[in-house]
Structure 1
Amino acid sequence: MVSNSAKSLLLCLMISVLHQHLQFQLPHVVAIKTKSEGKDDGRGKTLSFTLYQQETINKTGYIVVDGVAGAGVSQTTTPFGTVYVFRDDLTVHADKASRVAGVAEGTSITTSLDGLQSMSLAKITIHHKGHRGSVSVLGGTYNTKPSDYPVVGGTGDFAYALGYVRSSPVNLIGQTVTYKMELHLYWPPYAHDAPVPKKP
């Protein structure tokens, strides 16, 4: 059982992290070397690729604060106010046994009484196809439908990247659930002209 003071501390820490991410300022000019995939015209770069998030309940993802009302706990729902944390492998194929190319770690808070929606933040660390670094995302999740998360910062090869990550459910049955993660990244000057994600 988590005390009210622990819940308050956790909420304050999450608000502080969100505040820091929202204050991130993008410089006007950045020089980035081009890798083999993506697009480059000598002024900037774009990059897109797909990985698969493998989440195992009570092994790589845990409820740390119980919700207070609404839906019960299932593969796709948690009660309103539930705080969930995760550290999931990212694989190159939907098969859990495929090569691990990174990790997604973060938290979500259930924000709907039907238990299907939450506010999520995550750091996605990648070592794939010659790219190393991380991107941070912040946005709303709909557990059974595709969700788009804005990229709010990056490190390593993804420093100064903007764009979005689309997470789509692949398998929601059983103890391990799988999500397809499509990363769409843009550097200046493409960042200013990046397309708005189309509804899935």
Structure 2
Amino acid sequence: MNVNYKNRRNVSGSAGGATGHPSTTPSLHHSGSTPPAPLPRRNLNRGYQQLRVWQDAIDLYRLTCETFQNWPFERKKIVSQAIASADSVHRNIAEGYCRRTIREYLQALNISLGSLGESVSGYFAYQRAGQITPEQFEMLDALAFRLENGMLRLVESLERKRDEGSWTEAVVLRESNEVYGSEAKNWIAGETE
């Protein structure tokens, strides 16, 4: 992505904003017909994006939206609930991952499993009522089944780590002092570099 560090004018028209200095903030606007390529945004808190269960949950949400997008307005409440329960699955996986304790992580995963159960129950009901085709049901149910099994294995693994005491509650971050312009030393597990 080409970042534009051009001087920008504030409301009063002076270059560089309130301080009068050129801005070093990258422009969020792009000129051209194609949007810029997305930057890889990785950090400790976004590690859930590597989880297969989170990726499957996103796919389930997408498939749920596609399946119900053309339903008539009279069934708007059902559509809203189906989409909301599928949406809750990936959100709770992410929230649990971002928590700092295994207890909170497991709690969020169990909430996610509950939302998944709600979604699957709906798929069965919609199929029996003739509101979705057998093919649509099969696609939704197969993906949900794979996701359920993955989540159950993840919960089982985390419970085992909890019971063995091998889960580390503390998060150790390594930061670059150059980012902060600081001469302070990096602290890693009680040691300095």
In the superposition, the TM-score normalised over structure 2's length comes to: 0.25
Q: Which has the higher strand share?
A: 1
Q: Which has the higher contact order (CA 8 A, sep 6+)?
A: 1
Which structure's residues are more often helix, by fraction? 2
Q: TM-score scaled by structure 1?
A: 0.24
